[in-house]
Amino acid sequence: MIMWKDLFVQRKYATLKVTQKSDLAKDENVNAENIDVDMFTKCPSCGEILINMDLESNLKVCLKCNHHFRIGGNERIDITFDKGSIDYFDTNMKSLNPLKFPNYSEKLKSLSKSLGINEAVITGRAKIEGLDVCFGVMEPNFIMGSMGSVVGEKLSRMFERAIDMKLPVVVFCASGGARMQEGMLSLSQMAKVSAAVKKHSNAGLLYISVITDPTTGGVTASFASLGDIIIAEPKATIGFAGRRVIEQTIKQKLPLEFQTSEFMLEHGFIDMIVERNKMKETLHNILKIHLGVKGNE
């Protein structure tokens, strides 16, 4: 693949300092007008400076160290499902503020405006290389992908529709857990979605849970851990309790690999780790075997 960086940077010799726009403006030798810092992204894992266009064409995976950047729900849908095959469910469902939790209504309003979606999960029906599934894709940027009443209801309805349509389900998890601002209503969604998963399972249908960075708390302790098949992206954080909480409880530093996909694979809680550029193909292959369709007929 030809990369943009190869066209105008001699990688061997080039060193590039990451600077903020404000720093550039202060430096008299640099004309800030001519440098667009939005063109580059620094990899949080290896520190490599990546050209955004290259990063995008590599599905937001670092070209040097394979770090999988977090991606939004709509980006995930774009790279997973066939173009033009998507039928969205319950797009108008919105959260209320049943506990009258301070600042919650404002937060919901400003997030749905800035992200252009109403809640932390997108659900629907789509095709993966021609094979039908119902799906849920969580949005990690919407209050940390946390689960309140709407996330629970949308996912439960999606599982119920999948039962009616006799379709498998794929859920991309990314969540900080149950949403504090809806209190016990949020916690109850864990039971609600798990009950819907059970119903779907009782109907003999396949549920694939795909765990992406980060999946913790009440989502780990419900549908994320309940797939017939559980796949994770490399080095995603997966766990129940937060790392900081555990460190405070046991008064020790935890090793870096603790609560990663690799850790969960080793301990027997996920089936496989799949890189982002192989995800669509892997899902398709698993679906194919469940449908008993060999080849592409």
Closer to another protein by Cβ: residue 40 or 269: 269
- Shortest approach of another protein to residue 74 CB, angstroms? 21
- For 57, what's the count of Cα atoms within 13 Å in the CB-facing half-sphere? 9
Contact 139, 117 (CB under 8 A): yes
Query: Beta strand 40-42 with 49-51: parallel, antiparallel or unpaired?
Result: antiparallel
Residues whose CB falls within 8 Å of the CB of residue 134, separated by 6 or more in sequence, listed in order: 123, 124, 125, 158, 159, 161, 162, 165, 167, 168, 169, 170
**Binding-site ranges for another protein (CB under 8 A):** 90, 92-96, 98-99, 101-102, 149-150, 152-153, 156, 178-192, 194-199, 202, 217-218, 220-226, 238-242, 245-246, 249-250, 254, 258-259, 267-269
Site of tokens 């997030």: 111
Residue 126's DSSP bridge partners are 133
Report yes or no: 239 and 221 within 8 Å, Cβ to Cβ: no
291 in helix, strand or coil? helix
Q: Which is nearer to another protein, 128 or 232 (CB)?
A: 232
Per the DSSP assignment, residues forming a β-bridge with 210 are: 172, 231
Q: How far is the CB of 274 from another protein (least distance, A)?
A: 19
List the one residue out of 217, 76, 43, 222 whose CA is nearest residue 143: 217
Is residue 43 marked as binding?
yes
173 assigned ligand-binding residue: no
Extract the tokens encoding 254: 């935890």
Residue with tokens 């982002």: 276
Nearest to another protein of 76, 192 (CB atom): 192
Q: Does residue 46 have a known ligand-binding role?
A: yes
238 in Cβ contact with 211 (< 8 Å): yes
Rounded distance between C-alpha atoms, residue 190 and residue 55, angstroms: 35
Q: What is the DSSP string of 97-141?
A: -TT--TTHHHHHHHHHHHHS-SSSEEEEEEEETTEEEEEEEE-TT
Q: What is the DSSP string of 266-283?
A: HTTS-SEE--HHHHHHHH
The residue among 46 and 254 lying less far from another protein, judged by its C-beta, is 254
Q: Residue 116 CB, nearest distance to another protein (Å)?
A: 18
Q: Is the dihedral of CA 275, 279, 281, 282 positive or negative?
A: positive
Q: CB nearer to another protein: give 80 or 181.
A: 181
Rounded least distance, CB 206 to another protein, Å? 16
Nearest to another protein of 51, 221 (CB atom): 221
**81 or 159: CB nearest another protein:** 159
- Provide the annotated binding site: 43, 46, 62, 65
- Provide the annotated binding site for Zn(2+): 43, 46, 62, 65
